[in-house]
Structures are given as structure tokens and as C-alpha cells.
Chains A and B, each alone.
Chain A
């Protein structure tokens, strides 16, 4: 069936995104054969074509298992559209955007979801409305954001997937080993996991065979959404630490525009404290040019150990090449969405929330121009300028080495702990250890053989 060119439907407006969903058939070969059937029910219920099992089911209509995106219609269309935008081929852009819009749905299967969220980003890119869109999305999210919802979300996520707990276990292990024997600990935490890392660390401290040390936890908040719930989180942490019998101090640092500006004084680091810096998913939010400086700042805190956990994707080196950046972004989020699909139950609300978070990130990466942000922004407040440019573990490792950090290998015990952790989840997860002289120091969490999260420990 041939696809005839449609004339663009008026101006590109938000109206674009509210069309009904279509059911899709698997495409084969180069020709995209579309069997357009309207399915009126799709707006409400997610389509259950992708089973939440780890096996690659091919019997259902839309297997989500392919990660290369070779035969997937969404991937093809999206890439074509990206190319069109890069080439500024406006009729093609219109055409593809329209097609994607017809086929996409945030409640459908993987393809449809990816199509939906990337379409949004492409649209913003094409119309240069990325910044505005991002702001809108953020404010919408903030309105529905609460301690309860955030807690429920992250705990559920951690229950079904080791995506975050992998980094937690590795980092906690490294921190405990590096600070072993110290009596006054000070952990500088810059993470995006809402302090869910710390209960297990507190428990480990409480059950250490020697004297339970005093722990001071300073949380640096870089994401505006997180700031809202930090107070409550802090209270819970304090209570829990009391329960554990660990002398505990909790402090939150917000309102800091840039990580680079942190100092020992602003963080309240005392001379007799053993410092650990814990960065989970935080470095990617730092502006690319400032990353080296931030790492130098870590050095200035004289930590005993620095633990870095980041997601494995390179959206930095290609940031001036839209198509490359787009393809890498698509690759990463395809993995992520598939992982979510297979980890949660089909009707999970939490998964939906996580996917929506992704949509904001995707818009931010693809459609928001970093350089323009500072000038476009009226006020001097640069907090909102968090970019989302991930880098691969090897790239971070290089930066850290440049700043005179040397890698600390994870001990066998920690590796065993990580392995035991992965065993508790569904199949599909794996662990990759550094191979000898490999440049990347750190361990990788793999999903279906693809490295997705990188965890490492460093000492000055």
C-alpha cells in the first residue's frame, strides 16, 4: 500500500498530538506498509502487545525486543525525520511528522511510545520551541509531584529493576571500604535517587563490627523537582538513622546555581571528617564545559573516595551533530523503554511516570540548545539550565583521570554483592567487569548484553 503525500494539516500546533491512535502492523523490508485501523480504545488503555517477560516473543504483533531498531518502524521514521530536519527539508519534515503523529501513542507499545516522545522532541526542534515545551513539561510535572508520588515511583522502580540499585550497591560498597575504620564520615551526595541509597548504608554502618561511626550526609540538590521533596526525605532519613542507632546529621544544599561553586565551606566539611563524594546521575546535568571544573572541585574537598554512577550513552561528543546525537539518543532510550516495558506490569502507572520523565529529558537533549539557554533566559537564574547530556563511562573516566583521580577497583566482596543483587531481579541483567588495561575503570550493568549503567570509584 502506498503512502500518498498528504498536505500538511494546517499549522503545527499542539492539536497535532491529540489524534487517535492507530493499530500498527509489523513492517518488513524497506517498504513501510501501514494497515491503518482506528482503535478507539487505545486512548485509555495501554496496548498489551509487549509481554513483560524476558523472552523475545515474536507471536504478538509488536515485539519490543529488538534493540538495534533495524526493523522497527518507529526507529526508521524517526531517524528519517531527524535527517530531514537536519537537511531542512521541510516538506519531508511535515510528511514524516504527520505520519509519526498518526502512529504514535504514549500508551501503546514500545514503538508507539518512542515515536510519541521523540516526535515531540522533533517537533520542538523543527519549530524551535524546545525551551518553551520543556518548561511546560516541567511545570506540569511539578504540579503533580509530591513526596508520596516520588517515593512510590522510585521504590517501585527499584523493586522491579536494578537500574538504580546497581549503582547504589556498588557505591555503598566502595564507600564503606574506603571509609572503613573512620569514626566521622561525611558523604556529599549529588544524586537523582532521592536518598534511597542511604538506608542500606546506614544499616551496614550500624551492623559493622566496630564502633558505629558518626555520619553526616550533605545532599546537594540540582534538580528543581527534587528540592520540593527533600525536606520530607530528610526527616525520614533522620528517623531511620535514629532507629538504626547511627549518629546522623542531614543537610540539604539548594539554591546553588552551579556545582562548580561548591566549596568545603559551603558544604560544611570539617577537617577531621572522612569525606566521600557520591554522584549518581548528576554529572550529566553539569554543563559540558564545566565538567572538568566540577571534577576539580571534588578534588578540593579532599575526599577519600568518589563514586560516580552514570548511564551509558554519549550525547555529548555529538552535540553539534544533530543526526548522530539523535540516533544515539534513540538507541539509549529504546533500551530504556524496553527495559521498562519488561520490568513493570503492563498497566503500571509508575512506568508511565518514568516514561514521561524521559520525555522531558529527550526534549531537553534534542530540542534545547545549550548555548542559547543562557541568553534566552531572562533572569540570571541558571538552575533550570541543567542539561541532560550523558557521556559514556570511558569519557567520564578520562575526565577524572585528567583531574588526577585514580580508579579504585571494586573489591571482590562488592562485586559479589552486585552479582547477588542482580540475581534477585528478573533475567536479562548482567554485569561486566573491567578487563585489565581497558580504559574504562568501573563496572557496567548490562541489559540484554548492552551496557546501560556505569559505576566506578575513584580516589584522589
Chain B
């Protein structure tokens, strides 16, 4: 009788559901314990489905003798010792260490399905709280709300310490006055791209945007920006880091807009970085490998130039939570319009402070600016990127040609990332409705099809609409698993 899992005997609304999770996950091959992608559980793992009440209950572990509840299993064991049990009963269970994964009790949630279960109890708790829970914790200074106490604490530490610097040089301690100033600032009126110093990027102290730029940098000028922009940042950062991140991004943009050739060719090396769509941005430099980058995102409502050519990319793409459909760049994809770099850790759409005017190198790049800004805002997450990243467990494969692998993960990645974003519970709901919709649109493509599309893509010229690489239409955005890693 003690062979069973303890939960079986505890009458607490526990529902045990042993399901082999996810048939399309690679088996764990490494000897070392490896973290999976979020929502891609070990197929051998046991899936536990807890009711919301149980999940949120603080004392899940009950002593069978006196019924006392404990938060942790270890505490329960300690307590049980005190009961002076006869030796036989002392053996708790001979349960092997079987990995357990948990599903979210919320039916509408993606993580409700066992194939998308999460491996960590604390993780599922936090997810449930953040996504489906009431936001009970409120920041004193700025009245932002959080459902998870640790999120709130993390935010409170950095709230108000953030300083906002406008391009005109003025520094603000208050966000609202910064935004208002920005709107009226003369610096906004100028359309010139301003190269605003690595200094500002280096001072990305609390930046919650953690990109780890792997792979060859884009080019000399761009590279230096990248290295400074993309620093690994542990744990949830401040919300308001956008400005500098954006500036960094705009810097990255600026050279890109001018030296697009360099960027283009180098970009192909960066395929590991989220290739969002397969549309070749750089028509005259078709990337040698399968993936193209479509860095163009933006609000397709914006009347940017050549809107007709704009690949309409749903923002739901993995990295692009919250970004609306892309607007075309002015000059026939020859320009790097925007990068939704930070969007990997999206969740925060809030920080739309705009430093990016400089990024709008040409007039056509107004949308670019917005895109960048969206990118940055998405990227600034007060979340713990490690949750997302760690669970990815992917190593960036420099060899992109492992399409096979990529295919498998792609859909999952897409979904998991989008969801992981939601893990990073933030005050602002990350995903826009388009996220969810495109998520549902997205289907796991058969690998063959994907390869086929890829080769198609190569042949494509720069013109024309972007098709998502799954071929499901203009909306969805392809995701590239290793690209996610690229950002780690």
C-alpha cells in the first residue's frame, strides 16, 4: 500500500493522472539532469493534475497520523519522525524518483494539457497565480499589481530607482513625466538617427532584457553595440529598462539601415537568433542557410511606406509577443527595420518609452521605431528569464541545418515560448489576443513540409509577402528553436 504515491492516499482533491507526456519530445539523453523546455515535459514523467485549491494550498503534505499539513515534503518527514513510528511504517515509500510534471488546472490554459505540463511544482504554482490568479500584491510607488509575491518583491526593489534619460540629455526619475517630456521633446522631432553611445547601453544596469548574443556579430559597428546591449541578466529585472535597451537597439538599427548589406549577410549568421519569419529581408543577400530573418515587425496599421509589401507577421511569434503585424520597411526589405529582439522575454508591453527616434534612420523607419520600441518593451520583463531559458534546455546549434531537430521543436518552441512569456507573470498581460489566435493557428508542421518551405524561401526574392514558414498564412511567425537559444 505504501508503494503508491503518497498523493493517492491523501483525500484532498488530488487528481492523479498518469499520462505519458508529449509524444514528440526527445528523450533525455544526457546523463546529467537537464532542464527541459518549459511545457515540454519528459515523456516518462508522471503528470500530476492538481485542483486550483490544492495547488494554492500551502499545506499539501499531510501527516497521515495527525493530519497536520506542511508546505514541504521534508518538513512533513521531519514531523513524522516525532510520531515514533514503528520501523516498517517509517519507510515512507519505496518510490523511485520519478519525475513529476504538473498541469495547470485552468482549462483554457495551454499548460492544461499533459503534453505541455511544467516540471516544477513551484513553477506551476507561480504560473497559475500569475496567469489566472488575482493580483493581490501592489507596488506602493507606482501601483503596479502582481499576483506572485516574489514578483512583487523583485519589482519593489527596483521601482523608482530607475532613471530615464531622454535623448536631449534630461534625466527623469518619474516615468510619467519622462513620457510626457518625450512626446514634446525636440529630440523627438528630429528624424536623424543618433548614435547614442555605448555608454547608455552599458549602463543597462537593471536591464531585464537578457539576451545573450551568440554567434557572429553583425558587423563591426553593430557588434559592439550588440555586445553591450545583450548582456545576460539574471532574474527579473526592472520594468523600466526599455530606454536604454531601446537605444541600444536603435543603435543596432541605425547601422543596419545604412549598411544593410553587411547586416544582411551577417544576419544570416545569426540565424540562431530568432528568425521570425522566413521572408528574406535582404533581397540581394539571400541567406545561405535555410532561415531568413524577417526582422520587420510593426504595427501594420501604421501607414509606413510600402505597407503593401509588409509582411504581416503576427506578433504572436515566439519572440514577438505583443508586437503587431509588421509593417514593411521602406525600401524593399533592404533595410533592417526593426528587431524584436527583446520580445523573447516579452511580457512587458508597458515600457514603451521611446528613445528610438534615432532608430528611425530614414523617414520610412517610423514604423521601425515603433517596432523597436515594442521590441524593447516586450523585452523588458520583470520576469525571471531563467525560467524560460532554463526550461528551454536548448543549446544553440550553430549548425542551422539541423532542420530536423528544429522542426520538432519549432511548434513546441513557439507555443512554449509564447506561454513561457506568460509565465513571466507581469502586470501587463503579455500576449495580445493575436498571440493566442496565432498560437491556435499554428500547427505542428510535418518536418518535411517545413524543409520544403525553407528551400522555397531561399528561392524567393525579396519582394512579395512574407509567408510564415509553416505556410499557414501571413499571420503566424515561424520560430526557430535555436534562435531562442541564440538569445539566451
Q: Give every chain A residue within 8 A of B182 (Cβ-Cβ).
A: 199, 240
A142 contacts the other chain (CB 8 A): no
Chain B CB within 8 A of A373 CB: no
Instruction: Decide yes or no whether A77 CB sits under 8 A from chain B.
Output: no
Given the contacts A199-B179, A203-B353, A243-B356, A420 and B140 also touching, CB distance less than 8 Å: yes
Task: Kindly state the separation between the CA atoms of A334 and B143 in the bound complex, as whole angstroms.
Answer: 33
Binding stretch for chain A, among B11-19, B274-282, B295-303, B461-469: B295-303
Report whether B352 and A212 are in contact in the complex, using a CB–CB cutoff of 8 Å.
Answer: no
Contact of B180 among A158, A207, A212, A239 (CB under 8 A): A158
CB distance from A143 to the nearest CB of B (A): 22
Asked if A214 is at the interface of the complex by the 8 Å CB criterion, the answer is: yes
The answer to the question of B171 belonging to the interface, with a C-beta cut-off of 8 Å to chain A, is no
Q: Which residues in B have their C-beta under 8 angstroms from that of A235?
A: 189
Q: Inside 8 A of A202's CB, which chain B residues have their CB?
A: 183
- Do the beta carbons of A247 and B369 come within 8 Å of each other? no
Interface string of B338-357 (1 = CB under 8 A from A): 00000000001111111011
Closest residue of chain A to B369 (Cβ to Cβ) is: A243
Which of B141, B183, B189, B369 touches A199 (beta carbons < 8 Å)?
B183
Contact B373 A416 (CB under 8 A): no
In the assembled complex, B130 has its CB within 8 A of some CB on chain A: no
| Distance of A419 from chain B, by nearest CB (Å) | 7
Set A155, A165, A236, A424: member contacting B188, Cβ < 8 A = A236
A199-B182, A209-B432 are known contacts. Are A244 and B138 too (CB-CB below 8 A)?
no
CA distance in complex: A237, B357 (Å): 14
A430 on the B face (CB < 8 A) = no
Known: A209-B429, A212-B299. Is A245-B183 also a contact (CB below 8 A)? no
Contact A207-B350, Cβ < 8 Å, known A200-B176, A245-B374? yes
Chain B residue at smallest Cβ distance from A425: B174
Number of residue pairs across A and B with beta carbons under 8 Å? Answer: 114
Whether A427 sits at the interface, judged by CB under 8 Å, is no
Q: Are B138 and A165 in contact (CB under 8 A)?
A: no
B183 touches A237 (CB 8 A): yes
* A-chain residues with CB within 8 Å of residue B174 when the two chains form the complex: 424
Partner of A245, one of B145, B176, B298, B434: B298
For the complex, give the distance between the alpha carbons of A247 and B354 in Å: 16
A223-246: CB near B (< 8 Å → 1, else 0) gives 000000000010111011011111
Query: Assuming A207-B351, A209-B429, is B140 touching A245 (CB within 8 A)?
Result: no
Q: Is the CB of A165 within 8 A of B349?
A: no
CB contact list, B155-206 vs A, under 8 A: 174, 176-177, 179-184, 188-189
For window 194-221 of A, CB contacts with B under 8 Å fall at 196, 198-200, 202-203, 206-212, 214
Q: Looking at B350, B354, B370, which has the most chain A CB atoms within 10 Å of its CB?
A: B354
How far in angstroms is the closest Cβ of chain A from B158? Answer: 15
Q: Which residues A241-297 have CB closer than 8 A to chain B?
A: 242-247
Please name all residues of chain A whose beta carbon is closer than 8 Å to the beta carbon of B188 when the two chains form the complex. Answer: 236, 239-240, 243
Chain A min CB distance to B51 (Å)? 27
Q: B302 to A242, Cβ gap below 8 A?
A: yes
Is B301 a contact of A247 with CB atoms below 8 Å? yes
Are B184 and A207 interface neighbours, CB within 8 A? Answer: no
B138 contacts which chain A residues (CB < 8 A)?
416
* Distance in angstroms between the alpha carbons of A222 and B24 in the assembled complex: 66
Q: How far is the CB of A128 from chain B (nearest CB, A)?
A: 41
0/1 string, B367-390, CB within 8 A of A gives 1: 101110110010000000000000
* Contact status A158-B177, CB under 8 Å: yes
Q: Is A413 an interface residue (CB 8 A)?
A: yes
Shortest distance between the CB of B352 and any CB in chain A (Å): 5
0/1 interface trace, chain A 74-97, chain B, CB 8 Å (1 if under): 000000000000000000000000
User: Are A151 and B184 in contact (CB-based, < 8 A)?
Assistant: yes
Give residues in B with beta carbon < 8 Å to A: 138-143, 145, 174, 176-177, 179-184, 188-189, 298-299, 301-302, 322, 324, 348-354, 356-357, 366-367, 369-371, 373-374, 377, 428-434
18 contacts between A and B (CB under 8 A): A199-B182, A207-B350, A208-B428, A209-B349, A211-B433, A211-B434, A212-B299, A212-B301, A214-B301, A233-B184, A243-B356, A243-B370, A243-B373, A244-B352, A244-B370, A247-B301, A419-B143, A420-B142
Q: Contacts A155-B177, A209-B432, A243-B366 known; list 11 others, CB within 8 Å.
A: A155-B184, A159-B177, A196-B184, A206-B352, A207-B377, A236-B189, A240-B183, A240-B188, A242-B302, A243-B373, A245-B298
| The 10 nearest A-B residue pairs measured at CB | A209-B429, A199-B183, A245-B370, A416-B143, A240-B183, A207-B349, A247-B301, A243-B354, A420-B143, A207-B350
